[in-house]
Each structure stands twice: as structure tokens, then as C-alpha cells.
Chains A and B, each alone.
Chain A
Amino acid sequence: MSRATTHSAEEAALREPWEDIARQRQAVEMGMWAFLASEILFFTGIFAGYTIYRSTYPEAFWVAGGHTSLFYGGTNTAILLVSSAAMGIVPSAARWPSLGSFARTMLWVAALLGIAFLVLKGFEYAEDFDEHLFPGPDFEIHERGAQLFFAFYWCVTAIHAIHLIIGIGLVARLAIAGARDPRWFSQTPAVQATALYWGLVDVIWTIVFVILYLPGRGS
């Protein structure tokens, strides 16, 4: 590509108050990392609560963990990991004008996998309701502490799902805006920032999978 094209692409991606795109990119990445640190502390609050209760009621958590659906949990984990692989290609691919449309396809792949995750999660929730796994008077498991496990199950997965919905929105926005203005897409730091956020949502899910779906499996 010619220097002039690069230059105009940089101009399209440049925002107030920045004077050069490299600095802007650095700042957006840094800001995103700071926000991710904040998000990690957000989830740490609930994970800390889970850890304390699990050490108080190890058997109840073991029994309750066995009632979650390994099929849905496992499939969803696989889906999100694949979506992250697709997303992992995007920041590098987006920088090459010839790979721009490929990068946008990968964005859509990630977004659709995210939607697939939510659909499966919906089926899983429906099944959980049928099995009386929502804490309350007619709760399925009678062991003391099991309700706590499922309180965390519902809260953590719901809060994660909200993060995923926001992620899907950001990814779709990026893909649409990128198709409208491919020059902007090739330079904007929004690509890297969105990918970072998607990565966080995926990493959080991996932890959720381990602490909610794996207890109570095996001997």
C-alpha cells in the first residue's frame, strides 16, 4: 500500500486529543487493561465468596456440583474457546488492508459463537428450573450449603452472560463500522480493545467452568 493510503487511514482512526495514532493506540490499550483489572476485581468479589463457602461446606458443594450439566458447560466452554481463537486473529489481520474483510468475518464468527453460547445457556437454565435447582422452598438438594452453591451458580453465570451480551454488541458494532469504513478499521485501536475485552469474558468463563461444573465429577 502507498504511504498516502496509510496516512489517510491513520487520520480516519485518529481521535481528539491525539496527535499520532501510535500514541493513541498505546493509550487505548493501557486504558483497556486498567478496565480489565477493574473487571477482574469485580469477579474476584464473587469468587472470594464462593471460595469461602466451598471451604465451609465442601461436601454440599461436591454434591451440588454434580447436579450441573457437564454437557452444556463443556460445550459452552469449547464454543467460547473457539470464539477466542477466531478473535485472536483479528487484531493482527485487521492491520492488513487485504485481510480486512477476513478480520471482519472472524469478528462475526466470534459474535455468532457468542450467541450460540447464550442459546445453549438458555436451554441449560430451562433444564435447571425443571430440576428445581433455583434456590427456594422446593429446592432439589437438601444438603445444607447446596443452596449457596446454586446461588453462586445463578449469579455468576448471569453476570457472565451480561458481560458476553455486551461483548457481542461491541464486536458487532466493530464489524459493522469496519465494513462501512475499512480504512478506519485498519488503524483503529478499538479492534485491539474489543479483542482484549472478549478475551476477558472468555477467561472468566474458564474459571467459572472449573469451579461450577467440575466439582462432584469423578470419584
Chain B
Amino acid sequence: MTDAVLGDTLPHDVTTFDKGYLGDGHTLGSWLFTTDHKRIAILYAVTITIFFFIGGIAIALVRIELVTPAQDFVTADEYNRLFTLHGIVMVWFFLVPSIPTTFGNFLLPMMIGARDLAFPKLNLFSWYLTIIGGALTIYMLLAGGVDTGWTFYTPYSSIYSNSHVIAAAMAVFVAGFGTIATGVNFITTIHTMRAPGMTWFRLPLFVWAMYTVSVVIVLATPVLAMTLLLMTLERFFGVPIFNPNEGGDPLLFQHLFWFYSHPAVYIMILPAMGVVSEVIPCFARRRLFGYDFMVYALIAISVIGFFVWGHHMFVSGQSAYANLVFSFLSFIVAVPSAIKVFNWTATLYRGQITYESPMLYSFGFVGLFTIGGLTGLFLASIPIDIHATDTYFVIAHFHYVMVGGTVSAFFAALHFWWPKITGRMYPEAWARFAAILMFFGFNFTFFPQFIMGWAGMPRRYGSYPPEFQIYHVLSSAGAAVLAIAYLMPLAYLTWSLRWGRRAPDNPWRATGLEWQTSSPPPTHNFEKLPIVENEPYDYHPRGYVDQEHEAAGTAESPQKGGEQQ
């Protein structure tokens, strides 16, 4: 304890990695062979950050090409390889693992009052699978890349493409088993390791999000694995699975691919919803509005999400009846998503809202996710989708959900739990500036894409008619702003590791078990395992507020208005 006292008196000392789990070994081996879920979370965070910037550089080159209508910066073939690299890396090596493997890994055991995940070695193994998949991706990149698009459509991928399809497919295959292992681990942990009193309906929404996302991961990812394996076997051994020359059906590939890849969208967004459900109640000092329905909405999204994949194939020639059913179900899946948006908004009502950076990122999430979701309804409608298929309208739509939604929530989580993870506070003013810049940069980049997509600009082309140039220039300029907004946290968060103020155990006065332990937490999370007696998000007394009592309470400690206890 003298150490802690010393640390507090010297806020600018250099001993950042001396406390809690961070102090438990400083060798490379202590990280690479760790089974501590918190350290594995850090390993994942470093990995996906590297891949985020690889995917980012690829798309930066694409945006440079698109500044002029002519194909003049890279060749058409290089252009294909760049956007494919961007897609593969961002989907499977950033977005899918992003929140579950980092914050899920770090927080899930602490939020339910456990010492670790159920299978710590499996957890480490899953990181190594991700690394092997990542290494294959790097190999694929250095060998010359892939030009199929991230969707690997057959028969182009299985027969005609002259790029490194097998390396890319195997990279995704291996990394997929990494996420399946994580999913199995989370499901088991949540079922068997909750602390006494932590009933299912006391679980923080983030844990519920991890649970539903794990189920989707476990049930959807293997179908992708099989699909890519069959495509690879067809390419390597010439066995005709999807080859139309032998009577095979390329549409079968698309069905199997989207059976995974549409639920994959929910794999990306459900954890983000979990994060926002933690942040908004905390900075509004309100109980989460409609907790039960938030849970049911997560479950409904994850179940219905399995049955909407056909909306990616409205123009593929599948039957009109299939189109009708998939269209209907795609409208239905918007209902639970809307419930969530309304409930986050209702949580703010009569809240004592403060605008710390995690809250700003969360507001960004709610707004951008809403736009992404509403334009999703356009695309669920068959006549509109036929007009907008394969245009920038679709690109803008899913970037609003995945980047505006998931990446905003990722940064919300990063700032919200940064003090817990590192034991240091980040510079708040810089963080707020970055959050606002990210919001503007994002809209600057992607809003013009809605307009040009609606006007007919198709996706995946390096050259285009000159009338679209204004939108592309706007979009590329926005991407530059967005790049700065992404680099800023990298700079000031790294800075805070050494010079940041020491974080108290619970800087946001948040509820949740992870805030009851020290910052950074000890290796086994809790000195004494907690017993849960409170409802979740217990930010203020339930029911009508006793005016007299509250006035007295406020007078006593003006800083604690509306807090728990």
C-alpha cells in the first residue's frame, strides 16, 4: 500500500506498469504465455490496432485514387487488391474481434465477479489462432494481395482470379476458429461463473451483449469456415462445388457466405450496443430505461439476424418469394434495434448529463447508428434496393453502422475503461476534441457517399464519370480528417500511460463490479470475491424521489447527487 501512496504523491512518475496485473511480470514471456484474461485483452488490443492501421492505409490509397475521375494513381488491378485488403482486414481482423476480444476479455469476468474466464488457456490459444490468421493475411499482402473483394464470390475466386485467394481464405478460416473459441469461452463463463447474487437479470447489458454475440459467433462462423474451405478445395483440387460448368451453383456460395456474413454485422454491432448501454446511464446518472426490453431486444436481434441474409441477394436471381420473405424479415429486425435507440434516448430524460468523452462517443454512436439503421430500411425494401444495389449508397449505409456505430462505441469503451485498464487518466480536453472531430470527419466522409450512391455511383471502381468528382473529393477530404481523429487517441492515450494522472478506482462513479476493484485490477481481479445485492445501473433511488430527503442529501455532499447508496 505504501506503493500506492507514493504513486499518488508523484503523479508524473514513470512507474506505470508497476501495479495490479500490469506489475505481475515485465518480461516478454510474461505476456506471450499469460493466461490472465486482462493481459490477453491487451495482446488482442495491440493486434487489432495494427490491423486497423493496415486496413486504414489500404483505404487511404483508395481515397487518393478517387480524388480524380481518371484511374491515375494506382492501376485497376491494384485498386481491386486495395479495397479487398481493406475489407478483409477491417471485417475479420478489426471489427469482428474488436470489442469482444479486448473489452469483452478484459471486463466480462470482472463484471460478473469472476477471477478469470472459464478456460484461460483456450483464451490464449484463441489469440494465437488470430495471430496465425493475421500472419497469413500479412503473407497474402506481401505476396501481392487478393482481388476478389472481401466477399470471395465464386466462380471468380475459385477458378479465375490470379491472386492469393487461398492464403486470404485460410487466414479468415483460422482467425474464425479463434473467435469461435472466444465465443465458447464467454458462453461458458457467463453460465457457470457469475458471483453469488448476480442473477441473469442483474447482468450489465454489456455482459448480455457478450452473451448474445457469442451465440451468434458460435453458430454463424462455422458456416463461413465451411464455405471458404469448400471454395479453397475447389480452387486447389478442382473439385466442382460451385462451378457452373459441372452443374454447380454459384448462388449456393452466396447463400452460405451471407448466412454468416449478415449475422456478422450483428457480431459487430451487438457489442457496441453493450458498450453504449454502460456509458449512457453512467453519464446521465440514470437507471437504464427498460432494462428487460434491452435484453429482449438483444436476443431478438441475434435470433432474427440469422434469417435476413437473403437481402444481400435481391438482384442475384433468387426467387421472388424468397425476396419477399427476406425483405419482410429485414424490416422486422429493425424493431428491436429501434427499441434500443428509444431506450437509450429515454435514459437521458431527466438525467444529470455530463459530456465526458465516452459520452460524446456514445452520442455519436446513437446518432450514426440511427442513420445507418434507417438507411438499412431503404435497402430492405426491394424496389429501392434494386436501384441502390452495389452503389455507394450501400457503402455509406454499412459504414454508418460499422464505423459510425461500432468504431465510435469502441472509442467510447476505450475512454470509459482506460482508467481501469491502465490505471491512468487520459487528457479529457484532447479526448473531447477527438470525439467531436471523429463525428464530423465521419459524416464528412460518408454523407456524400449516400448522395453519389443514390445518383448512381457504383462501388468498386477506380475511375468514374466527372459529375461525381465533387462528392469523391468531399469524401476523401473527410477521410483525411477522420484519419487525424483516429491518430489523436493513439497519441494522447500513449502519452497518458506515462504522464497521465493516476486513476482512482472509480473515476466515473459508475456502478458495476469492475469499478469496485482497484485500477488497474489485481491479477485475480478482486481481493475478495463480490456478492451482488443491487440491481444493475443503480444510479438513483427507484420510484418517486423524496424531495426533502434529496435536498438534504445534496446539501450534505454536493458532488454525490443521484449517486448510488
Is A147 in contact with chain B by the CB < 8 A criterion?
yes
**A38/B222 in contact, CB under 8 A:** yes
Q: B4-12, B246-254, B455-463: which one contacts chain A?
A: B246-254
Interface of A (DSSP majority class): helix
In the complex, A49→B237 CA distance in Å?
18
Asked whether A155 and B247 contact (CB < 8 A) given A23-B192, A135-B239, the answer is: no
**A152/B241 in contact, CB under 8 A:** yes
**B120/A16 in contact, CB under 8 A:** yes
**A49/B252 in contact, CB under 8 A:** yes
**A46/B252 in contact, CB under 8 A:** no
B230 CB contact (under 8 Å) in A44, A46, A53: A46
- B183, B185, B252: most-surrounded residue (chain A CB, <10 A): B252
Is B528 in contact with chain A by the CB < 8 A criterion?
no
Query: Looking across the interface, which residue of chain B has its beta carbon closest to that of A57?
Result: B247
In the complex, A216→B303 CA distance in Å?
39
In the complex, A45→B229 CA distance in Å?
10
- Interfacial residues of chain A within 6-33, with CB under 8 A of chain B in the complex: 16-17, 23, 26-27, 30-31
Asked whether A45 and B240 contact (CB < 8 A) given A38-B218, A38-B221, A147-B247, the answer is: no
Query: Looking across the interface, which residue of chain B has its beta carbon closest to that of A153?
Result: B239
Is B188 in contact with chain A by the CB < 8 A criterion?
yes
Asked whether A42 and B226 contact (CB < 8 A) given A136-B238, A155-B241, the answer is: yes
Interface of B (DSSP majority class): helix
Is A145 in contact with chain B by the CB < 8 A criterion?
yes
A135 CB contact (under 8 Å) in B118, B185, B226, B240: B240
**B256/A27 in contact, CB under 8 A:** no
- Interfacial residues of chain A within 32-56, with CB under 8 A of chain B in the complex: 34-35, 37-39, 41-46, 48-49, 52-53, 56
B213 to chain A, nearest CB (A): 13
Is A148 in contact with chain B by the CB < 8 A criterion?
yes
User: Which chain A residues border B248 with CB–CB below 8 Å?
Assistant: 53, 148, 151
B212 to chain A, nearest CB (A): 14
Q: Residue-by-residue, is B159-203 near A (CB-CB < 8 Å gives 1, otherwise 0)?
A: 000000000000000000000100111011101110000000000
- A30, A38, A48, A150: most-surrounded residue (chain B CB, <10 A): A38
**B180/A38 in contact, CB under 8 A:** yes
**B184/A159 in contact, CB under 8 A:** no
Q: Residue-by-residue, is A162-181 near B (CB-CB < 8 Å gives 1, otherwise 0)?
A: 00000000000000000000
**B240/A56 in contact, CB under 8 A:** no
**A46/B226 in contact, CB under 8 A:** yes
Is B148 in contact with chain A by the CB < 8 A criterion?
no
User: Which chain A residues border B230 with CB–CB below 8 Å?
Assistant: 45-46, 49, 155
User: Can you list 29 A-B contacts with CB-CB less than 8 angstroms, sorted by A residue number?
Assistant: A16-B116, A27-B118, A27-B188, A27-B189, A27-B193, A30-B188, A30-B191, A31-B119, A34-B187, A34-B188, A35-B218, A38-B222, A44-B223, A44-B226, A46-B226, A48-B256, A49-B241, A49-B252, A49-B256, A52-B252, A56-B247, A135-B240, A136-B238, A147-B246, A148-B241, A148-B248, A151-B241, A154-B237, A154-B239
Q: Given A45-B222, A147-B247, list of 7 further CB < 8 A pairs?
A: A31-B119, A45-B226, A147-B246, A148-B248, A151-B241, A155-B229, A155-B239
